[in-house]
Amino acid sequence: MKTEKIALYCRVSTEKQEKEETIKDQLYILNAIYKGKNVVAQYLDDGYRGGSMERPAMVKLKEDAKAGKFNVLAISDLDRFTRGGVSHLEPAFKNLISLGIKIEVRGMPIDYTSPEGIMSADVLSSVGKYGKNKAVQIMVNGKWARADRGILIGCYPSWGYKLIRKHWEGNILKEAYFEKDLAEDWKIKKIFETYLKEQSLHKTSRELYKMGIYARGKKGEEGKYKNYILPSTIRQILINESYIGKFYFGKKIYGQATKFVKKYSKTRERGGNTGWKWRSRDKWKLIKIPPIINKETFNSVQNILKKRAENFLRKAKYNYLCQNLIRCIHCGRAYRAKPNGKFYSRKDGVETLSYSYFCYSNEGIEKKCPSCRVNGRFFDEIVWDTIRSYVSNPEEVKIAITESENRKIEEKDTTQKDLNLLLLEKAKNAKEKYRIIDCIGRGIINEGDARENLSILNEKEEKINNKEEELSQKIKKIKEIKIIEKEIEKSCKIYSNIINSKEELPFDIKKWIVRTWVSEINIKDDGNAIIKVKIPEILGKPVNIENISNSIMGQIVCFNEIKHNA
């Protein structure tokens, strides 16, 4: 008889559960069941959501399963293994069973070799997923209902307030509320008073430091360090409506970020939210709290901030043509521009500034990003010469745009027809699923056949949804391209008018033209530059810049590759 080598798997979703020791609870249950048996390994995922299968302990479990380190996998509940439903559970279990591993839930084996066993496991998994989604929905609905009644939803309070949690006073349950923190609220008053006097964020920061008012510090370390309050933090305080007694619930919508700066994120790995956007203001829920600042002072500060912002829109000190257009191929950050020294006179007597473009992560003592640093003046000239070759041919551009529009109209009509047909197919698929479910309820079809048919229909529905999303995005892109084409045609006319009038082309117009045409520029490690043009079809072939090299800060950087963004 084959010797059993048992592996235990446990998981909790959040740090709060981790602190409440639910991992230990799961282990206690499993150790009691398998007491005296050959337990060879424990795989524990602390603080990882069940919707993701890429958890550290889960990854290690899969590797050890392939290596044959255990032949029985024990879990306390199916939702501890995954809450991704059948789509996650079935492939994971089948993979383990194919390796000769038996799966047990609280000592009871899961039979994934018969239709009945598969059906029961899938039902349990679906119930777990439904329970998770239902619990989340109930919690969210409860919060919004409470906020609608003006009840405070517990959170970390703004500086100057402290949170009094829900508690009992005799036989009366008191809801959570904010009250003024008498040890801190005077600092908020001083920040408003000082800004009204100085009318400058930087001056306010310095004056507050002289008064002994330092940065609050992160949660749990308030007042630990004597640091300046950042001007950006002061601005956030000054525009915070909580200080006039207006606290809002539900200002942000949280979700998954669409662009990642970090290659690895612990939150992303755990399946947590990594991004947010503002919810429309009419959906915010107002909860009244004690004010620290009177409305007259608050409104005066807002007027000064608005006036200062308008005056701030002054002409830049230095002219950087490609600023914020160059993206690092390693970390995804935008390149910055910085002067290398003072102005100097060229042979023709023109005052010129030497500057360079570089990735911010490649600066400082610890250089984290292996990106190229380029000579800004030479690079800007190359980019402008390339774009000028486009805008100096307005007639060709106009003809090309007309042809492009005709193609786009045909493409849009074809895509819309395909989308309409797809929606009809989707409706038929949904009708067929409903028919099979109805047949199950009436006992016309057995569960095994029904499950097989539903599985086929679910796969078909997933393919239809993916295709629908693809076609919808295609139609959206066609509409966006039409707007860009009009801007490009406008840029050609403006350039032509200025050149024909024999006036000097202003830098602001030149910068606007470049941004109208170019979506992004990348600099490769070998020095080649890739210019991604917004409308690649306009002038046909890509322009090649050959045999251009510049010695920049000890590096030979060549710009000989201009590509178009498809």
The two tokens of residue 328 are 């690092």
pLDDT digits (tens, 9 = 90+) for 398-409: 777 777 777 777
Dist CA 156 CA 218 (whole Å)? 11
pLDDT digits (tens, 9 = 90+) for 75-102: 887 777 776 555 566 677 778 888 888 8
Catalytic machinery residues: 13
In what side-by-side order are the strands of the sheet with 518-523?
326-327, 518-523, 529-533
At 534, the pLDDT band (50, 70, 90 cuts) reads confident
At 55, the pLDDT band (50, 70, 90 cuts) reads confident
Phi, psi at 356, each rounded to 5°: -140, 155
Domains and CATH numbers, the chain: 6-132 (3.40.50.1390), 188-283+294-311 (no CATH)
446 vs 72: which has the higher pLDDT:
72
What pTM value is reported for the model?
0.48
526 vs 152: which has the higher pLDDT:
152
pLDDT higher than threshold 50 for residue 547: no
Dist CA 400 CA 393 (whole Å)? 11
Q: What is the DSSP string of 109-123?
A: EP--SSHHHHHHHHH
Helix axes 185-198, 231-238, angle to 10 degrees: 100
